[in-house]
Structure formats: C-alpha cells, structure tokens
C-alpha cells in the first residue's frame, strides 16, 4: 500500500470537503449539524475510500497498523471535524481497535461491523464522578451483579464522550472485589437505546468538536446477557490496556494535524503582516517561535513513531506511550500558543482557526490521563528498572 498516496488523498479530501464547514461553525460540531453532518461526511469519505482506514479488512477497513496510520490521521486532524468525517475520531476509533482484538464473532457482526461502516456511534463508559474511577481506574464503583442468563449493571458515569445518541456502549463495571482493589472489572456491550440507560446531561466543556458531547450517564438495572460480555469476566482492566495505549497515540496523531494547521496559519500571517519596518516573520523573536514550533512538532512525531513501532511489534509500550502522550500534549499546546501569539489580535479571534484549535487542544493534557499521572507512572517504572538492574 502506498501510504504517501493515501495521506495525500486524505489531505485533499479534508481541504475539499471538511475545512470550510469546520471554519464556518468555529469548530462547533453540534452547531454544524451534529450527527447528520457526521453521516453526510462519512458517506463522502466512504466514496473516496477513506472511511475507517484503521479498521480490520474483513469489516471494510484497510487494516492499517499504528505506524502506517500516523500520517493519515495527522492529515485528518488538520480539521477539527476531519477525524469524525473519516470515522477515526475518539471514542469510536479506540472502540474499533478494542473490538477487533477482543470481540467474539457474534459481537463483531452485531457491534464492530456497523461501527466501522458508520451506521452507529459508540461510547466507552469507564470514568465516574468522585470517588469513582478516573485517573485511578481501580476506584471503579459501577457494579454488575450476576443474575440468571447475564448481569445487572448499576452505576453513574461522567465525561462519557459521544454518549448522547450513541448506538452502543462499552461499559466497565466491577464484578468482584471492592473499589480501590486492582482487578475485578468486566467489560460489557449493550445497544445505546435501552431505557435503563439515562443520559442525564451534557457536561459543558471548553471543547466543542466531539459529536454527542461529554455526558453524565446513569445505568439502572441494565440487563446484559452473557453473550454481550466483552472478553473474560474480571479481566476488564487487562482489556483496557489493549485500547488505551493505541488510543493515546491516535490522539497524538490527530492533534499533531491540528497544531500543524495553527503553526502554518501563523507562518502565513507573520509572512504577510508588516510591523516596525519589516515582515513579522523577519523579526528574530518571531523566528525563534517558528523554529521552536518546528522542533516541538518534529519531536512529537519522533516519540509517537517510536511508541507506535513498539505497539506494532506486539508490546504494551506502556512507558513509550506515556512518554509520547505527555510530551505531545504539552508540546502541541506550546505550538498552538506560540501561533496565537504570532497572530496577535487575530490569534484570539474567529477570523483565523488558531483560537479554536487552542480551545480544543487544551483538554488533551487531561484527557486520556493527566500529564501528572503519566509522569508518576513514568517515574515509578524508571525507579523499578534501575533498582532491579542494580540487584
């Protein structure tokens, strides 16, 4: 497969079909049409052969590995709506990856195939209000009780991306042990239209580019038949690792595209804007910001590809993905912040795309693990590795 050609086709599609809509609605996907826009854009992407390129070939995708998808996902991320248009946005992209690796044949037919085709959206329901699961998944409080033929799930989740209108949920619930204990979690699949699922509210957040919002959801005596248990009972935390590492890296891919657009916008503006008798781009301080952006983008891609190579080789890549995610979340924020500064007043306006990218990118330092939690994990691994080597 010619990956350069695929990335080029993605670039052309995003510019021809997506960017103008994104800019016209200032990156607010609900204002642009929400799910109806998603369906329309994904139909165009399917005709162009660009829909869900990461998905397994037997379900209609191209089966791209982690390294192979990096350039394509970056091109899609050049528009805030691009990942949705190509059906590679969170949480659907990560859920496709998880189902491909864990789902039974029946579950693939019922849930994975329609998800890949864009016939429905999905949500991954793990995060809970305090004192429940968040950065510490072991704090899981949502419980599943064994009953005849299946399980009854009860609990409250929040910050569940895409929950409003989701056609299916993957729910993490405790099937053994107590909150705070490692293990004892199980993943469950369910259609999203069940009356026992109550999308209580949208949590108002600064980012606005995700279809279905970030929601609070309550499950009340939700019956899950045994056929819809995803993987083995009590092994949910292990399966979560199948999803979380790759999903963090695809976030990096997409946000690199968005940060690159902000950077390129700033370069064009600084090259045209004159001040103090010269173009802004000719001033030393502006050149330093442009150079620092180039360095941060290059370093982000390098760390990303190293982690993706480990994932493609079959490793968990826990340390590499934590390093790449933490660095990227902060470096890409620096890139966009410098772009805002280079564009001056227009950098904080809707006249240029830079301000909305800054708004959308900032939560990435929290989503999929805050930088501080990743640093704690990285430090613990480093201490354990060095201590073990000295024994």
Within 8 A by CB and 6+ apart from 366, the residues are: none
Asked if 336 contacts 265 with a C-beta cutoff of 8 angstroms, the reply is: no
- CA angle 248/249/252 to nearest 5° reads 95
What digits encode the pLDDT tens for the residues 253-291? 999 999 999 999 999 999 999 999 999 999 999 999 999
3-state SS assignment for residue 89: coil
Asked if 323 contacts 371 with a C-beta cutoff of 8 angstroms, the reply is no
Q: Round the average pLDDT of the chain to a whole number and report it.
A: 97
pLDDT digit string (tens) for 318-357?
999 999 999 999 999 999 999 999 999 999 999 999 999 9
List, in sequence order, the alpha helices (H) in 215-283: 236-272
Annotation: CATH topology of 3-116: Butyryl-Coa Dehydrogenase, subunit A; domain 1 (1.10.540)
Q: What is the maximal distance between C-alpha atoms in the chain?
A: 80
Q: If pLDDT is split at 50, 70 and 90, which confidence band does 390 have?
A: confident
Share of the chain above pLDDT 90, in %: 97
Q: What is the pLDDT of residue 87?
A: 98
Say if residue 391's pLDDT is above 80: no
Q: From CA 362, how far away is CA 356, in angstroms rounded? A: 10
**Has residue 123 got a pLDDT over 80?**
yes
Position 182 scores a pLDDT of 85
Output the pLDDT for position 1. 82
Instruction: Measure the CA–CA gap between 360 and 208, rounded to whole angstroms.
Output: 7
Choices 1.20.140.10, 3.50.50.60, 1.10.10.10, 1.50.10.20: CATH for 237-390: 1.20.140.10
In tens, the pLDDT along 53-105 reads 999 999 999 999 999 999 999 999 999 999 999 999 999 999 999 999 999 99
Of all residues in the chain, the percent with pLDDT exceeding 70 is 100
Question: Angle at the Cα of 128 (from 234 to 373), degrees rounded to 5?
Answer: 85
SS3 of 125, please?
A: strand
CATH topology of domain 122-233: Butyryl-CoA Dehydrogenase, subunit A; domain 2 (2.40.110)
The whole-angstrom separation of Cα 88 and Cα 91 is 9
User: What ranges do the domains of the chain cover?
Assistant: 3-116, 122-233, 237-390
Rounded to whole angstroms, the Cα distance separating 56 from 116 reads 9
- Owner of token pair 């949500």: 123
| Strand 197-202 versus strand 122-125 pairing type | unpaired
Contacts of 271 (CB under 8 A, 6+ apart): 279, 280, 281
Query: Is the fold of 3-116 the same as that of 122-233?
Result: no
Distance CA 125, CA 98 (A): 13
């Amino acid at each position: 497969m010619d990956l350069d050609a695929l990335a080029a086709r993605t670039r052309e599609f995003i510019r021809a079909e997506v960017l103008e809509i994104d800019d016209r609605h200032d990156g607010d996907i609900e204002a642009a049409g929400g799910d109806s826009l998603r369906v329309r854009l994904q139909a165009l992407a399917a005709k162009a052969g660009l829909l869900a390129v990461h998905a397994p070939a037997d379900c209609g995708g191209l089966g791209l590995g982690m390294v192979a998808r990096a350039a394509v996902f970056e091109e899609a991320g050049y528009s805030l709506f691009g990942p949705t248009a190509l059906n590679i946005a969170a949480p659907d992209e990560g859920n496709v990856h998880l189902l491909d690796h864990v789902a039974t044949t029946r579950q693939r037919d019922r849930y994975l195939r329609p998800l890949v085709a864009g016939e429905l959206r999905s949500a991954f329901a793990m995060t809970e209000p305090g004192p429940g699961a968040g950065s510490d998944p072991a704090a899981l409080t949502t419980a599943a009780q064994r009953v005849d033929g299946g399980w009854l799930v009860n609990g409250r989740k929040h910050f569940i991306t895409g929950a409003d209108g989701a056609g299916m949920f993957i729910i993490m619930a405790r099937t053994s042990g107590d909150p705070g204990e490692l293990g004892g979690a199980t993943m469950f699949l369910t259609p999203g239209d069940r009356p026992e699922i109550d999308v209580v509210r949208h949590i108002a957040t600064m980012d606005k580019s995700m279809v279905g919002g970030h929601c609070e959801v309550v499950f009340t005596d939700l019956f899950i038949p045994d056929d819809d248990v995803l993987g083995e009972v009590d092994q949910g935390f292990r399966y979560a690792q199948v999803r979380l590492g790759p999903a963090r890296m695809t976030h990096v891919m997409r946000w690199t595209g968005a940060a690159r657009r902000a950077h390129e916008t700033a370069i064009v503006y600084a090259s045209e804007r004159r001040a103090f008798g010269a173009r802004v781009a000719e001033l030393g301080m502006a050149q330093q910001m442009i150079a620092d952006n180039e360095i941060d983008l290059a370093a982000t891609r390098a760390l990303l590809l190293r982690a993706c190579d480990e994932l493609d080789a079959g490793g968990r890549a826990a340390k590499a993905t934590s390093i790449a995610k933490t660095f990227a979340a902060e470096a890409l924020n620096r890139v966009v912040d410098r772009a805002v500064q280079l564009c001056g007043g227009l950098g904080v306006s809707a006249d240029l795309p830079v301000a909305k990218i800054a708004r959308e990118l900032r939560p990435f330092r929290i989503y999929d693990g805050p930088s501080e939690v990743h640093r704690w994990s990285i430090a613990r691994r480093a201490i354990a590795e060095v201590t073990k080597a000295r024994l």
